[in-house]
């Protein structure tokens, strides 16, 4: 994967950007971290994530919570939104979506720490929640609860 240029003129931010046809076609942009010497947590909560079952083609729905401690780079939020939207017509199992997003962000950003939780709504009566992280968070970082309750008819 080639990394996008880091100049503001190359960002998708501030310009009309077509929706990508698939997650593989989506471009994730990164911007310099204005506080690279400080450990802090950035969180993205995606309450309406959608993908397709690769077997039946029926939609799957999840709440994603992405926490990361940046190093030199931040993910640009518009590009992240476009990337995640590209899953709406993408067939993949819950585990592949959740872990794949975490791996792609880790490759792009090189964060000090990243974790992703995929809280999937049930199909066939069984919710499948998927969690992945890069390792231990820095000790100085406050890592709040993801805020998504265990399944009780979310």
Q: Is 60 known to be catalytic?
A: yes
Eight-class DSSP state of 32: E
41 Cβ contact partners less than 8 Å away, ≥ 6 residues apart: 67, 68, 69, 137, 141, 142, 143, 144
| Active-site option among 24, 29, 39, 60 | 60
Question: From the CB of residue 65, how many other CB atoms can be counted at a distance below 10 Å?
Answer: 21
| Active-site option among 53, 71, 96, 129 | 53
Eight-class DSSP state of 99: H
Backbone angles phi, psi at 78, to 5 degrees: -65, -45
Catalytic residues: 53, 60
């Amino acid at each position: 994967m080639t990394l996008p240029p880091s100049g503001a003129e190359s960002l998708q931010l501030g310009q009309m950007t077509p929706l990508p046809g698939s997650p593989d076609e989506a471009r994730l942009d990164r911007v310099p971290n204005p506080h690279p010497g400080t450990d802090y947590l950035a969180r993205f909560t995606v309450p309406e994530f959608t993908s397709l079952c690769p077997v039946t083609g029926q939609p799957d729905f999840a709440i994603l919570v992405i926490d990361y401690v940046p190093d030199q780079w931040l993910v640009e939020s518009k590009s992240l939104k476009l990337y995640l939207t590209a899953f709406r017509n993408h067939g993949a199992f819950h585990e592949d979506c959740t872990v794949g997003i975490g791996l792609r962000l880790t490759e792009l950003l090189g964060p000090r720490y990243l974790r992703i939780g995929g809280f999937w709504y049930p199909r066939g009566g069984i919710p499948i929640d998927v969690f992945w992280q890069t390792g231990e968070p820095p000790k100085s970082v406050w890592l709040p609860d993801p805020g998504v309750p265990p399944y009780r008819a979310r």
